[in-house]
Amino acid sequence: MIKINTKSFDWLEINKIYIDPKGRDWSELDKVDREEYAKLLIEPLKGKIQTQYDKTDTHRIVKQLLEQWFYEGNKISYSKITNYLREKNFEEIISAFEEARSSIIAATDKRFSNILIDWPVAKQKAMEINEPSERKHIITEVIKPGNCHMFAGITITDLGIEPERSTIYSSKEKIEAVTLVYDKELKTIIKEFKAVFNYKSLSKKIRHKLLTATHVMVCPYCNRQYITNYKVAGESRSTADIDHFYCQDRYPFLALSLYNFIPSCQICNSRFKLSVDFGKDEHINPHKRGFDKDGVFRLKGVESLLGGPIEFEIVNVDNSEEIKNSLKTFRLNEVYQTHQDYVGELVKKAQIYNDGQLTEYLENFSELFESKNEMHRIIFGNYVAEEELGKRPLAKLAKDLLDDLGIKIRD
């Protein structure tokens, strides 16, 4: 997992799309250009917000949040829209949604509000897991002595042991009856937000322009696959997917937010991530950080150095939850095992080129290499400086293992 380097973003291009008429960058754009771009994202969104807000049957929560996010007095605010779309931290937006969402439940049922929200998710998780103790753990996180009377068939005593499969099923109807109203209203809210923040309405042209402007060259989730931006007849194209870090089904109001887009490879986006809720289970967010020094590749034992089988793994140094979840979701330890030959070559190179020799090369070929860093890249075949890891696949693997092998990467 690699941090996305926002320094390499082409902000002029991005700001054209996320147009802000008051922004400083605008001196370089003429009025026609501004108007053309505004029509592609901001104007249609503004129209949709207004339409939804003005509808008489719009859900009160949707209305309340649209007002909070986009209105000033009773007027929709252009700059509030552009600021919202370029917001980097979603905590405030998400908690406003969650607070409003919990108000669906009548005051008398308030003390059950958490269970009404958490149970459907916990239930789905529990059903997918076969390991009894893990399943029990998930269930008892939600069903506690204080609320277990809601679950027909489950008693406090049951919670001390693994509830039998039939017991869980027998409580299903009861829970469903309780959550019916909540689910129905939540569906309406999600549907209305989806109509406003319609990702599919974002034209292909804009998506490709956006991807190209981020200059992300390698999938930040896996650091294994190139993302290629190219041009056909002057039009930008990209081989990348745009992953929504917070998925559209649960956080539809973030579907168009710049920092919710992670340019990623298809495998990570469509094969591995699927519907995992990154809002519930914490994952590393590449817009904020990478694995850095907390999730590192390490050789296992000394066998690899003695000509034995190559064994390596990603070590979660502080046993962080975010790294644990990211490793699991993207199956990083597993997919990296396919790169044993690469690791084998690195080990041999590290043995051939010791630090003394590297210094000697640098002196002998002082005109050839710009820096020690560049020489390392050429000899070891990859970028090894932290801020450059996103430039080539497997760079993080190379950097960490060279560290592990005692090659001093920085002078």
The tokens for 165 are: 């499969």
**Choice between 163 and 295, CB closer to Zn ion:** 295
Measured from the CB of residue 284, what is the shortest distance to Zn ion in angstroms? 13
**Choice between 319 and 338, CB closer to Zn ion:** 338
**Choice between 188 and 266, CB closer to Zn ion:** 266
Instruction: Write each residue from 240 to 269 as x if it is in contact with Zn ion (CB under 5 A), else as -, in one continuous string.
Output: -------------------------x--x-
Q: Write the single-letter amino acid at 195.
A: A
Residue matched to tokens 């919202």: 84
Contacts of 345 (CB under 8 A, 6+ apart): 381
Measured from the CB of residue 218, what is the shortest distance to Zn ion in angstroms? 8
The tokens for 278 are: 């990154």
**Choice between 143 and 398, CB closer to Zn ion:** 398
- Is position 272 an interface residue for Zn ion (rule: CB under 5 A)? no
Q: Which of 42, 116, 219, 398 binds Zn ion (CB under 5 A)?
A: 219
Q: CA 267, 271, 277: angle at the middle one, nearest 5?
A: 115
- Is position 395 an interface residue for Zn ion (rule: CB under 5 A)? no
Measured from the CB of residue 364, what is the shortest distance to Zn ion in angstroms? 39
Query: Taking contact as CB under 5 A, which single stretch among the options 198-206, 211-219, 254-262, 297-305 is the one that binds Zn ion?
Result: 211-219
What is the footprint of Zn ion within residues 19-38 (CB under 5 A)? Answer: none
> Could you tell me if 290 and 323 are in contact, meaning their C-beta atoms sit under 8 angstroms apart?
no
Q: Which of 221, 261, 312, 380 binds Zn ion (CB under 5 A)?
A: 221
Measured from the CB of residue 228, what is the shortest distance to Zn ion in angstroms? 13
Query: Taking contact as CB under 5 A, which single stretch among the options 4-12, 45-53, 63-71, 219-227 is the one that binds Zn ion?
Result: 219-227
- The C-alpha atoms of residue 226 and residue 217 are separated, in whole angstroms, by 6
Q: Render 73-130 in DSSP notation, one character per residue.
A: TTEE-HHHHHHHHT-S--HHHHHHHHHHHHTTS-GGGGGGHHHHHHHHHHHHHHHH--
Contacts of 220 (CB under 8 A, 6+ apart): 1, 2, 3, 4, 262, 263, 264, 286, 290, 390
Q: By CB under 5 A, name the binding residues for Zn ion.
A: 219, 221-222, 265, 268
